[in-house]
């Protein structure tokens, strides 16, 4: 189908990116899964080709292109494997905080290295006792002269092991009322005294994506690493969640399309009772249902991306897309595995990995239950 937000230059870019990934990612992805991480060398290769942070201004090393290029990058990375989600988080979730709220000095210090892949980023919101309820985080930061003394623990942090630069949500005013007005964002750099990493978390899926616990014990963060203004961290987080959740929807849609492609190829070649299983009515009905859900999802998503790129407030629609498309993907993963029969449960078949990787998308960036609450609230309920 014709994407509303794409021009000829976008498609030329997609072909070049796909060629790059066929050489540098597809052949090694299974090895990365087994080793439980994506090598930093791959990040640097992405950066050298202009595939990291493409929207960053040219004066900081970026290409300064529209967000359609980021959409393409995230779609093509998802087709390789969901474990590459940390790259999209780096380019399109973390970096926008710096470009929007950072000082000129911060931008010059950090952005060029983020664009080149020399510096990998993360954002630390979730804690062992606080997930969707961000106002209840317990990590604190107290200004003492020229430094903030940061104390607390974060968990489920994407890029947690590799990260050189981490935006940490913390409370700089524990007595603020309401609570969210006491939240600020501090940028913690690799090697900062008092900062350490816990274990690399052993997940059900997305094995090559490094996810970790982060620990701050009297961590001394220079006051010039405050991002934006004190007390506005919660506001900043809310402003950026629209794009973060839209990215999750984009990845879910791309995963659904990939899973259907894999399954179509399989059912046409696998025979039972003397004919391809694609010729059985049950198989045809299942595929017809999935193809319909995927087509409708793509149409809604493309319109939504277009509206987001126009700067429109589409929080309600993004919440709809995030929950519906991740739910579609989870359902499609189950149906596609079933159509693969016993082979679907074998590790050498990609659908098995997709089946493991897909469910978490309905949890991160705000659970689907939170998405439904947002929709209901915005409908006046």
Active-site residue set: 244
- Nearest in space to 77 (alpha carbons), one of 56, 91, 97: 91
* Joined tokens for residue 108: 């010059």
Beta strands 271-272 and 147-158: pairing type? unpaired
Which H helix or E strand runs over 110? Answer: helix 104-116
**Which are the contacts of 185, defined by CB distance < 8 A and separation ≥ 6?**
97, 101, 167, 168, 169, 170, 226, 227, 228, 233, 236, 237
CB under 8 Å to 238, separation ≥6 — which residues? Answer: none
CB atoms within 10 A of CB 365: 20
**Residue position matching structure tokens 């052993």:** 202
What does the block give as tokens for 311? 């700067």
What separation in angstroms does the CA of 8 have from each of 1, 4, 13, 14, 374? 14, 12, 9, 10, 36
Q: Which residue has the tokens 């990493």?
A: 197
Helices (H), strands (E): how many in the chain? 12, 10
The crossing angle, in degrees rounded to 10, of helices 281-309 and 315-339 is 160
Distance, in Å, from the CA atom of 354 to the CA atom of 205, rounded to the nearest integer, reads: 8
| DSSP label of 186 | E
């Amino acid at each position: 189908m014709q994407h509303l937000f794409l021009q000829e230059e976008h498609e030329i870019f997609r072909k070049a990116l796909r060629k790059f990934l066929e050489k540098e990612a597809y052949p090694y992805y299974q090895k990365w899964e087994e080793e439980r991480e994506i090598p930093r060398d791959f990040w640097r290769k992405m950066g050298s080709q202009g595939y990291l942070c493409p929207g960053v201004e040219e004066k900081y090393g970026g290409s300064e292109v529209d967000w359609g290029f980021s959409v393409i990058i995230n779609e093509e990375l998802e087709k390789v494997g969901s474990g590459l989600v940390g790259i999209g988080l780096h380019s399109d979730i973390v970096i926008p905080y710096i470009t929007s709220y950072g000082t000129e000095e911060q931008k010059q210090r950090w952005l060029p290295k983020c664009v080149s892949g020399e510096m990998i980023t993360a954002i630390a919101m979730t804690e062992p006792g606080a997930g969707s309820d961000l106002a209840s985080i317990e990590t604190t930061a107290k200004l003492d002269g020229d430094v903030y003394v940061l104390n607390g623990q974060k968990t489920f942090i994407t890029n947690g092991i590799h990260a050189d630069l981490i935006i940490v949500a913390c409370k700089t005013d524990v007595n603020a009322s309401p609570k969210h007005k006491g939240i600020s964002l501090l940028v913690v750099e690799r090697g900062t005294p008092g900062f350490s990493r816990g274990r690399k978390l052993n997940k059900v899926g997305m094995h090559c994506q490094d996810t970790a616990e982060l620990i701050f014990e009297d961590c001394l963060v220079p006051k010039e690493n405050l991002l934006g203004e004190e007390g506005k961290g919660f506001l900043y987080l809310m402003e950026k969640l629209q794009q973060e959740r839209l990215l999750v929807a984009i990845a879910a849609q791309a995963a659904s399309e990939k899973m259907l492609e894999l399954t179509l190829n399989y059912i046409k070649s696998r025979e039972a009772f003397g004919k391809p299983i694609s010729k059985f009515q049950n198989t045809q009905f299942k595929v017809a249902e999935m193809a319909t859900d995927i087509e409708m999802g793509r149409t809604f998503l493309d319109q939504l991306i277009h509206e987001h790129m126009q700067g429109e407030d589409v929080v309600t629609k993004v919440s709809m897309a995030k929950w519906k498309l991740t739910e579609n993907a989870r359902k499609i993963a189950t149906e596609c595995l079933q159509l693969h029969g016993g082979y679907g449960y074998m590790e050498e078949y990609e659908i098995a990995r997709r089946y493991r990787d897909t469910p978490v998308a309905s949890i991160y960036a705000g659970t689907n239950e939170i998405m439904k609450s947002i929709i209901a609230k915005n409908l006046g309920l």
